[in-house]
Amino acid sequence: MADRLKVFIPVASRFIRPQNTDWRYTAQSIPQALSKHCPELDIAVQRNAIVDTAANLGKAVSIARSKGVRFLPSYFGYSLEDDCPVFKSDLAQAQVIFSYERYPAKTFGLPVAWITSPSYPEVMEKQGYTAGDIKRILKWKRSRAERPQRLIFNTQVALDNFMLQNGEQFRGKSVVVPCLIPDLSALENADKKWESDPLRFLFIGRQGIRKGLPTTVQAMTPLLKAHPDISLTIVSSMADGPVEIPQLPNLKVVANISRAELFRLTAEAHFLLMPSWFENYGFVYIEALSQGCVPLALDNAVQRELIGHCGILLKAQDAEEMTQALRKAIQARDEYREKAMTGLETFKSRHAPAVVASLFSAAIRGAYEAR
């Protein structure tokens, strides 16, 4: 194809945490998805050990600092805040650079489409960053936002919050493109499980406490006792501390399973329960939509945007409120079946990999044409 746009994506090819969802979906899998779904693009990625080393070092220190370990200077502490090394020899005749979070240190005059997001000081404080660190990161992000031809945000909430932090002058070159989850496909005949199957509830969260597992267990226990035909499966390694789980015949805990098994459980489930105190996006909610599963989350702005019309939103991590909401769901099965089908259609029209890849392609083309 003569008019294929040559796109260079600077990204580490070997990463210290390959199981990290955010990294795997939004960084490493984007090149493959664009190559698969966008024949109008010619994708090249960076293959350089220096890039891998820099990304891994930054992430290692970020993890250590979040656990209270301080063994390297603070400027290593936030891996995504560092500029990404780019070498002219790697560009391979590229016409535009497409970068995720880490801004290319050198662009060699090429236009840039940059996926970014606002930084939330209150969250960063809980992760162990000092006031000085936070100020520096906010300053870095603002300065980088002045450079690209396109700013890409994964939600309208993120875009609006970025404008509040940095000024409306960036809005004109900003677009919203959902996160790319490359291996998702809509569950065929998802409505069949709603016809007669016993209601299945599912909790997913490696960090059980942060994701709301204690609230989920407390809320579900009386329902599991009152309705022995329903079930709850908990998928969590409880990485941020143990959570006491009652011994009930219709409650199952799984620590580590394959992605294929996780999708099977989601496909079987009617409700996904994850009242996480904070999610910058929440991939698992979109995975639930794709399988005809109603997601439950806290009523935060991002989750309201993504699933407010087809999910269950709670005001807080409150077990009594959650019990009441789920009791209503059990009693109004047909109503929540409609929510599940609405969520499935939302996934197909907005979040399916081919749809998202096409939106990214348009944003990249926009950056090139705005050069």
For the cut 90, the answer to whether the pLDDT of residue 81 exceeds it is no
For 147-156, how does the pLDDT look when each residue is reduced to its tens digit (9 = 90+)?
999 999 999 9
Structure tokens that stand for 270 in this block? 């009617």
Mean pLDDT value across residues 311-316: 96
For 52-75, how does the pLDDT look when each residue is reduced to its tens digit (9 = 90+)?
666 666 666 666 655 655 544 444
Q: Look up tokens 């939509």; give the residue.
A: 289
Structure tokens that stand for 211 in this block? 């994701």
Please tell me the predicted confidence (pLDDT) of residue 124: 81
For the cut 50, the answer to whether the pLDDT of residue 78 exceeds it is no
Judge contact between 297 and 279, C-beta under 8 A.
yes
Does the domain spanning 190-350 belong to CATH 3.10.129.10?
no
Q: Give the type of residue at 260.
A: A
Q: Residue 164, class by beta-carbon neighbours within 10 Å (0-12 exposed, 13-18 middle, 19+ buried)?
A: exposed
Residue 57 in 3-state DSSP?
A: helix
The CATH 3.40.50.2000 domain(s) of the chain lie at: 5-180+352-369, 190-350
Please tell me the predicted confidence (pLDDT) of residue 117: 92
For 97-125, how does the pLDDT look when each residue is reduced to its tens digit (9 = 90+)?
999 878 998 999 999 999 999 988 888 88
Q: How confident is the model at residue 1 (pLDDT cuts 50, 70, 90)?
A: very low
Please tell me the predicted confidence (pLDDT) of residue 175: 98
For 172-211, how does the pLDDT look when each residue is reduced to its tens digit (9 = 90+)?
999 999 999 888 899 989 999 999 889 999 999 999 999 9
Please tell me the predicted confidence (pLDDT) of residue 322: 98
Contacts of 243 (CB under 8 A, 6+ apart): 208, 209, 213, 214, 217, 236
Neighbours of 171 (CB within 10 A): 12
For the cut 80, the answer to whether the pLDDT of residue 28 exceeds it is no
Alpha helices in 167-240 (DSSP H): 193-196, 213-226
* Residue 122 dihedral angles phi and psi, to the nearest 5°: -65, -35
Q: Residue 236, class by beta-carbon neighbours within 10 Å (0-12 exposed, 13-18 middle, 19+ buried)?
A: buried
Q: Among 13-27, 135-149, 232-246, whose mean pLDDT is lowest?
A: 13-27
Please tell me the predicted confidence (pLDDT) of residue 80: 43
Please tell me the predicted confidence (pLDDT) of residue 126: 77
Q: How confident is the model at residue 369 (pLDDT cuts 50, 70, 90)?
A: very high
Mean pLDDT for the chain overall: 88
**C-alpha dihedral (8, 11, 12, 15), degrees to nearest 10:** -140
Mean pLDDT value across residues 244-269: 94
Half-sphere exposure of 206 (CA within 13 A, CB side): 9
Q: Which residue has the higher pLDDT, 363 or 68?
A: 363
Please tell me the predicted confidence (pLDDT) of residue 14: 60
Q: Look up tokens 């309705």; give the residue.
A: 227
Q: Give the type of residue at 365.
A: R
Residue 187 in 3-state DSSP?
A: coil
Mean pLDDT value across residues 3-32: 72
C-alpha span between 192 and 145 (Å, rounded): 47
Does the domain spanning 5-180+352-369 belong to CATH 3.40.50.2000?
yes
Q: Give the type of residue at 272.
A: L
Mean pLDDT value across residues 252-266: 93
C-alpha span between 322 and 217 (Å, rounded): 10
Length of the chain: 371
Mean pLDDT value across residues 205-233: 96
C-alpha span between 47 and 87 (Å, rounded): 10
Q: How confident is the model at residue 5 (pLDDT cuts 50, 70, 90)?
A: very high
C-alpha span between 164 and 277 (Å, rounded): 22
**Do strands 231-235 and 251-254 pair parallel, antiparallel, or not at all (unpaired)?**
parallel
